[in-house]
Structure 1
Amino acid sequence: AIENEILIKYNNQKKVLYLSSEEFGRMVPEIIKQNINDIEKFKDSFNQYDVLLVDDIQFLANRSKTNEIFFHIFNSFVNKQKQIVITSDKHPDDLYGFEERNVSRFQSGLSVGIDSPDFETSLIILKE
């Protein structure tokens, strides 16, 4: 939904990458097995996007090398004033298994809670 909204708002002029944290978490060890130049190329490959959407960031907990690489990608987006949207089942204050610098980055943005819809709203959604 967020990706579609961005594409509509900017007349398809923004390059958006949607990535689940599980997918990112599988990619990083493969890159690490290759060599250090591939890690840099991997990080640089994100530069072509204007918006990065990362789903379920909590699945990257306790993965230090993966978090380090994500940290550099995150910083690159921030430094270039690009947009990042991260989802999690927890508020950034309640994320464990991340370095403080990562949590600090997550806390620096807007955090919005999304509650489950009530029964009537669920029925309306199902009917539509």
Structure 2
Amino acid sequence: AIENEILTKYNNQKKVLYLSSEEFGRMVPEIIKQNINDIEKFKDSFNQYDVLLVDDIQFLANRSKTNEIFFHIFNSFVNKQKQIVITSDKHPDDLYGFEERNVSRFQSGLSVGIDSPDFETSLTILKE
């Protein structure tokens, strides 16, 4: 939904990348196995995008090298004033298994809770 909204709002002029944390978590070890230059190329490959959407960031907990690489990608987006949207089933304050610097980055953005829709809203969604 967020990706569609961004593409609509900007007339498909923004490049958006959606990644599940599981997908990102699988990619990183494969890159690490290759060589250090591939890690840099991997991080640089994100530069082509204007918006990064990462779903279920909590699944990257306790994966230090994966978190380190994500930290650098996150910083690159922030430094270039690009947008990052991260979802989690927990508030950033309740994320464990991440370095403090990662949690600090997550806390620096806007955190919005999304409640489950009530019954009538659920029916309306299903009808559409």
Note whether the superposition's TM-score is higher than 0.5.
yes
Shorter-normalised TM range: over 0.9
Distance of 1:92 and 1:71 partners within structure 2: 15
SS at match of 1:84: strand
- Once the two structures are TM-superposed, the CA of residue 123 in structure 1 deviates from its matched residue by 1.6
Task: State the Cα distance separating 1:77 from its structure 2 match.
Answer: 0.2
Where structure 1 has 5 or more consecutive residues not aligned to the other structure, the ranges are none
Distance 1:127 1:16 in 2: 28
Computed over aligned residues only, the root mean square deviation of the Cα atoms, in angstroms, reads: 0.6
**TM-score of the aligned structures, taking structure 1 as reference length:** 0.98
Q: What CA distance in whole angstroms lies between the structure 1 residues aligned with 2:39 and 2:115?
A: 38
Aligned residues: 128
Q: In the TM superposition, what is the alpha-carbon distance from 1:82 to its structure 2 partner?
A: 0.3
1:121 is displaced (CA, Å) by: 1.5
Match of 1:8 in 2: 8
Q: Measure the CA separation in 2 of the matches of 1:15 and 1:121.
A: 31
**By how many angstroms is 1:55 displaced?**
0.3
Could you say what secondary structure the match of 2:110 adopts? coil
5+ long unaligned stretches in structure 2:
none
Partner of 1:114: 114
The TM-score, its normalising length taken from structure 2, stands at 0.98
Among all aligned residue pairs of Structure 1 and Structure 2, give the percentage whose two residues are the same amino acid. Answer: 98
Mapped partners of 2:127, 2:14: distance in 1: 33
